[in-house]
Amino acid sequence: MATTMFDGIDRIEVYRIPLTTRFRGLDVREGVLLHGEAGWSEFSPFWDYDAEQSRPWFEAAMESATREFPRMERSDVEINATVPAVGPDEAHRIARSFGSATAKVKVAESGSTHKEDQARLEAVRDALGPEAKIRIDANAGWAKSEAVKRIGQLDRAAGGLEYVEQPGRTIADMAWIRSRVDVPIAADESVRLADDPLEVIRKDAADIMILKVQPMGGITRCLQIAEDADVPVVVSSALESSIGIAMGLALATSLPEPPYACGLGTARLLATDVVADPLISGNGRLTSFRQDIDELGLEVVKAPEDVRERWMERLSHYAS
C-alpha cells in the first residue's frame, strides 16, 4: 500500500472539471479524491472556505474513505431537477432533462433580477406541468422584508411552491420571515455554517433541514442531526463529482423514507466526471452504490500541477 500524509489513505488525486452551466458563480469545479480501505471519497470545499471552515469537509472525506457506508433502508431515492439562474428557455430545457417531478430553482442571485426569477419559475412550471413540485433556493440573497414580498410573488409565479430554501441571512431573519409567510421554510446555510445546527429548529426558524454530507462533517454526524432534529430533512449535494454524490446517496438511503426529493442530481452540471457511470438520472431517481474512479476519465480531468499543489497545501492543515 502506498503511503500519504494521512493514516488509512493510500492515494490522493485532484480533479478540475468544467461546468456545463455557470453555478454558484463558478465555471469550473475542483476537488480532491481520497482512497482508503473502504474506497473512494471526496474533499471539495469551495475555495472561499478557509482551512478551518473546510475541516468538516475533510472529516467527511476521511470517514467515507475509511469506513463502510451505513446499512441502506432502500436502494434508491427520488431526486429534484436543479435549475441554475439561467434564462427561461434554458431553464425549461434543464428542468425537463432530469425526468424529475420536482425542481429546485435558483433565485435571488447577484446579477439576476426579480423579473428574471419569475420568468425562470414560469418556464419550469410550463416544462414540468401543474402536478410537479417546485422549490426555490435564495441562498440568503434577500433582506428579511424583501424576502416576504418576493416569496409571495414567486409562489404565485410558480403556481405554488413546495418550500423556499434559506430566504434569510440569519436565524433571526429566518424566524421573522417564517412567521409571515405560508410557504414552508428550509434551512441550509443556517444549518451547515452553524456551530449548533439544531439552533434553527429550536428558534422556530425552519420547517425543513437541508443536510449535505461534506459540509456537515460526514454521514454519521448527519444521521445524528437528522435523528435529533425532529423535522423532515432533505439530503443535497455540494456540487461534487459522482464520488461525492455517492456519499450523499449513502446518507439518503440510510434514512427513513424522506417526504421530499433529494438534491443529489447535480452531476448533470459537470461537463464530465471521474467515474465511468456518472450519477445522472433520466427518470428522477438515483440508485446508491459505492463508486470507483475511471482511470482513463481521471486522466482527462486531473488538475494541473499548480492546482494540485494548492489543494495539497490545504490538506496539509489536517496532517497530524
Tens-of-pLDDT digits for all 320 residues of the chain? Answer: 456 789 999 999 999 999 998 887 899 999 999 999 999 999 999 999 999 999 999 999 999 999 999 999 999 999 999 999 999 999 999 999 999 999 999 999 988 899 999 999 999 999 999 999 999 999 999 999 999 999 999 999 999 999 999 999 999 999 999 999 999 999 999 999 999 999 999 999 999 999 999 999 999 999 999 999 989 999 999 999 999 999 999 999 999 988 899 999 999 999 999 999 999 988 999 999 999 999 999 999 999 999 999 999 999 999 97
Domain span(s) for CATH 3.30.390.10 in the chain: 9-69+296-316
Question: Of the residues 115, 133, 212, 302, which is catalytic?
Answer: 212
Is 137 annotated as a binding-site member? yes
Domain span(s) for CATH 3.20.20.120 in the chain: 76-293
- Structurally, at CATH architecture level, domain 9-69+296-316 sits in 2-Layer Sandwich (3.30)
Is 155 annotated as a binding-site member? no
Nearest to 40 by CA among 59, 67, 18, 16: 67
Question: Of the residues 104, 106, 133, 203, which is catalytic?
Answer: 106
Q: Are 221 and 38 a contacting pair, CB within 8 Å?
A: no
> Topology of domain 76-293, per CATH?
TIM Barrel (3.20.20)
Q: How distant is the alpha carbon of residue 129 from its chain centre? A: 25
How many other C-beta atoms can be found within 10 angstroms of the C-beta atom of residue 223?
16
Helix, strand, or coil (residue 107): coil
Is 126 annotated as a binding-site member? no
Cα(174)–Cα(138) distance, integer angstroms: 12
Helix (H) or strand (E) holding 105: strand 102-106
Q: What is the DSSP string of 63-90?
A: HHHHSPPPPPSSSEEEB-EEE-S--HHH
CA distances for 151 relative to 142, 145, 182, 258, 261, angstroms: 10, 10, 9, 24, 21
Helix, strand, or coil (residue 13): strand
Residue 212 annotated in active site? yes
Q: Are 27 and 18 a contacting pair, CB within 8 Å?
A: yes
Residue 115 annotated in active site? no
